[in-house]
Amino acid sequence: MHMLNDKILKLREKLNESIINGADYEETYKLSVELDELITEYYKEKINVN
């Protein structure tokens, strides 16, 4: 789960950079969707652990 958290943090940074740098909408949207999927996976694992 720790590794998944690290992936989320890195992808969040990448997404923020794309927004700040005015990257293409498609690229920013793709990163956002990937981040949502990782966050969903994180919470699914967290629920199964508890």
Q: What is the pLDDT along the chain (50 residues), one digit of tens a residue?
A: 789 999 999 999 999 999 999 999 999 999 999 999 999 999 999 898 76
Number of domains in the chain: 1
Report the pLDDT value the prediction gives residue 1, as an integer from 0 to 100: 74
Give the whole-angstrom CA distance, residue 33 versus residue 20: 17
Q: What is the pLDDT of residue 50?
A: 64
What b/e readout covers 24-43, taking b as 16+ CB neighbours within 10 angstroms? eeeebeebeeebeebeeeee
Structure confidence at residue 27 (pLDDT):
97
Q: What are the tokens at 14?
A: 């990448």
Say what the pLDDT of residue 39 is: 97
Q: Which helix (H) or strand (E) holds 45?
A: helix 25-49
First vs last C-alpha separation in the chain: 12
